[in-house]
């Protein structure tokens, strides 16, 4: 990105999908432009709540494991706020991580919010990843042959999103003249989506698999 804007790629793992949702793993990678800056932030949180089997089956964390390895949630969110400062937070499913997980948890715990709402990478993928109709992170990781670490653990998923930007999204965005954070954020919400596809296709078609593109 031209202006070297700082932003943070985040991901959470939780105790489930039903309110109140408790964050059990919080991870973030500070970015400057397209490049990671410094070490990744990753902490486990011990809310001392029941972790349903269905949630453990996804991320592997049990109540007992979090009691042993997790930290006080307020301490974790304080540390994350120091890490994220007031930078935009970007997630593959931002409506879940920000709207359903982090904001309600900050309010419930009575702690200040970290960062500010950025853009959703799944919405961006709908406009950039012309090779697929499925924009789940697992699908994109397989499609683009990205890191093979276990999915649905926050640190691994953050690393996958960073890799998506560096190996796939950056070149497509820059080819379309989208080389600032604000322009990417606007593009992630631009409609109609078909016009976004036309823009990307006109700029980067040589690098895309022709049969996949033509099938849309």
Query: Average pLDDT in the 179-189 region?
Result: 96
Provide the pLDDT for residue 149. 73
* Torsion over CA: 107, 47, 101, 24 (sign): positive
Among 134-138, 188-192, 195-199, 209-213, the range scoring the smallest mean pLDDT is 209-213
CA 178 to chain centre: 19
Across the chain, what does the average pLDDT equal? 92
Superfamily name with CATH number, domain 6-214 = Ribonuclease H-like superfamily/Ribonuclease H (3.30.420.10)
pLDDT in tens, 90-142: 999 999 999 999 999 999 999 999 999 999 999 999 999 999 999 999 999 99
* Torsion over CA: 179, 181, 182, 184 (sign): positive
Q: Minimal CA–CA distance to 137: which of 158, 155, 117?
A: 158
Decide: helix, strand or coil at residue 11: strand
The neighbouring-strand residues paired with 117 are 89
Going through the chain in order, the beta strands assigned E by DSSP cover 6-14, 23-32, 35-36, 41-44, 88-91, 116-120
Q: Give the integer Cα–Cα distance in Å for 206 and 35.
A: 25
Residue 158 DSSP label: H
Residue ranges of domains in the chain: 6-214
By percentage, how much of the chain surpasses pLDDT 70?
94
Token pair of 114 as six digits: 């970290």
Q: Is the pTM of this model over 0.85?
A: yes
Token pair of 161 as six digits: 């999103």
Provide the pLDDT for residue 204. 77
Phi, psi of 91, rounded to the nearest 5 degrees: -140, 160
């Amino acid at each position: 990105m031209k202006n070297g804007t700082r932003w943070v790629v985040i991901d959470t793992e939780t105790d489930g999908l039903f309110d109140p949702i408790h964050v059990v793993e919080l991870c973030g990678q500070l970015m400057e432009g397209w490049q990671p800056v410094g070490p990744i932030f990753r902490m486990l949180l011990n809310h001392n709540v029941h972790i349903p089997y269905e949630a453990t089956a996804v991320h592997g964390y049990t109540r007992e494991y979090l009691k042993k390895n997790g930290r006080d949630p307020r301490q974790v969110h304080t540390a994350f706020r120091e890490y994220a400062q007031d930078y935009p937070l970007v997630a593959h499913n931002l409506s879940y991580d920000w709207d359903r997980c982090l904001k309600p948890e900050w309010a419930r715990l009575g702690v200040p919010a970290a960062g500010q709402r950025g853009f959703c990478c799944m919405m961006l993928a709908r406009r950039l990843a012309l090779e697929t109709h499925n924009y789940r992170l697992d699908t994109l990781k397989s499609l683009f042959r990205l890191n093979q670490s276990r999915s649905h653990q926050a640190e691994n998923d953050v690393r996958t999103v960073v890799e998506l930007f560096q190996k796939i999204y950056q070149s497509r965005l820059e080819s379309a003249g989208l080389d600032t954070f604000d322009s990417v954020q606007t593009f992630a919400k631009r409609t109609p989506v078909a016009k976004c596809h036309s823009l990307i296709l006109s700029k980067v078609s040589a690098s895309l698999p022709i049969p996949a593109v033509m099938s849309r």
